[in-house]
Amino acid sequence: MMGRTHALTGWCAGVAASVILGHDDVGEVVLFGATTAGFALLPDLDHPNARASRLLGIVTRALSRLLRALSAGAYRLAQGPGDDPSRTGTHRHLTHTAVFAVAIGVATAVATAAGGPWVAAGVVLLGLLLAENALGDWLLPITAASVVMWVVNTDPATALASVSGWLGIAVALGCVVHCLGDAITVSGCPFLWPIPIAGECWYEIGPPSWLRFRTGSTVETYLVAPACTLGGVLLLPGVTELVQPWTQALAERLLAN
């Protein structure tokens, strides 16, 4: 998938998860969704030209180089008889697994618990920068306004404690959504590594071939991305109730005709 679609699917997953977790304040839901959207781009840090790799210049490029080396090492060490030994094992390997998603989520939760609000703020800021880079400059002012309203209506200490409590979930969820998005493309995704499937530890899971599409194809551009955009808006608290009278009136008019 393209970076923008990854971010949109991450936004939808984050907003839905936030509501499921019991968050009913729009500011908190928006912040959760935006953070998840940003970290839905993180697995592509294993590609030198990805948005995540170019975000902070030399810093993220160095992280990208390190992740590619770790991924290549993991590919060499954990192979099944059916895995292709000629592959480099860099892009779409280690960072595109459930192991990586869980590990980065746990690391985030531990770091925010130990480091306090400043670490939490840094994680959120990184997520927002990643999301803004993919979705556009409109995201930052909307998120900022929502967060300000949330903090004003909530005790700041309580708000910070709440953020620290769900950051690990948001980061891990973003990575999982990214992997599932890549799994429905023609390339598939080795999400279940190192579980051997058909003799391969890096088996690329995915739906039947007729349900897959190519990255940047017409299906992704004109179907998947718009559907995620619409879903991301409708999932926000209060939006469905707001548009329901209009949709009901429109349906009645169409039926009357």
pTM of the model: 0.87
Gap between the Cα atoms of 88 and 40, Å rounded:
23
**pLDDT < 70: residue spans in the chain:** 137, 140, 147-161, 237-257
Three-state DSSP state, 128? helix
Report residue 149 as tokens.
């309203």
Angstrom CA distances, 151 to 19, 71, 158, 167, stand at 18, 40, 9, 17
Write down the pLDDT at residue 247. 44
What phi and psi values does residue 141 have, to the nearest 5 degrees?
-65, -35
Cβ atoms of 80 and 199 closer than 8 Å: yes
Domain with 39, as residue range(s), is 3-256
Domain count, the chain: 1
What digits encode the pLDDT tens for the residues 16-59?
Answer: 998 888 877 777 888 888 899 999 999 999 999 988 899 889 99
Mean pLDDT of the chain: 84
Gap between the Cα atoms of 12 and 141, Å rounded:
19
Write down the pLDDT at residue 118. 80
CA-nearest of 72, 22, 28, 44 to 177 is 44
